[in-house]
Structure 1
Amino acid sequence: MKLLKTLFFALVLFMSANAFAQQKKIQTTVIKTAIYCDHCKQCESCGDRLNLGLLKTKGVQMVQLDEKAMTISVTYNTKKTDLATIKTAISKLGYDADDIKADPVAYEELDGCCKK
């Protein structure tokens, strides 16, 4: 009986630890950027390029652009990618990502409305 109780307790502990680990796998972060046009979500250069480019990054599940707050919310799987990789991907698309400056070559390829 004592062994059965111990096994049951171990099983409950394992299941709760597993559930907690699965919850931590998906994370959303908000990255500060610089957006200079007022139609970024519709703009092929800004919205589509940013969304499609980031969604090609392994582990990125959702991207939301807030041009008024000048932020990009990214939901990603922490088992497949990390924040540094996402910021680098944003930079390679021509945008600042917190402390990482936009890649100069990619920035020059943006439409004029997307530049300062």
Structure 2
Amino acid sequence: MKTLKSIAPAFLFMCFSLAGLAQDKGKSTEEIKIKTSSVCNMCKKTIEKSMAYEKGVKSAILDVDSQVLTVAFFPNKTNPDKIRQAVTLTGYDADQVPANERAYNKLEDCCKKDKAVHKD
């Protein structure tokens, strides 16, 4: 009985997660491409991870060489302006929207926009 009680919360979480995925699966997504100030693979990890926590974002992939972030999102849950704002709050420029200064100052030196694009 003790084992059943410890498994029950995990089982319920899994069921609700799958139900949420099933609801989103039938809905169409839109895609946006955002020019960022990212310069390296650390930037890539930072931006993609932050986008994973954004409501309504299905996927986010940053191409470091072109500095373009491609985001697939559910338009009934978010919009391009909210996504750009989320990128700026991570410390990076998003199209013409400048990075949040406080977040930018917290970035590693290799991620500063005055650096050239590099793969390190």
Q: So what's the TM-score if we normalise by structure 1?
A: 0.71
Aligned to 1:102: 99
- Structure 1 SS opposite 2:77: coil
1:61 aligned partner, one-letter code: K
Aligned to 1:8: none
1:109 aligned partner, one-letter code: K
Structure 1 unaligned residues grouped into runs of 5+: 1-21
Which runs of structure 2 are paired with 1:13-52 in the superposition (5 Å)?
25-37=28-40, 40=41, 43=42, 46-52=43-49
Query: What displacement does 1:31 show?
Result: 0.4
- Matches of 1:108 and 1:87 in 2, distance apart? 18
1:38-84, Cα deviation, whole Å (9 max, x unpaired): xx1xx2xx222211111111000101111111110000000100000
Aligned to 1:87: 84
Instruction: Calculate percent identity across the aligned residue pairs.
Output: 31
Which runs of structure 2 are paired with 1:61-72 in the superposition (5 Å)?
61-72=58-69
- Matches of 1:28 and 1:95 in 2, distance apart? 19
Which runs of structure 2 are paired with 1:5-16 in the superposition (5 Å)?
none
Q: So what's the TM-score if we normalise by structure 2?
A: 0.69
- Give me the CA root mean square deviation: 1.4
2:105 aligned partner, one-letter code: E
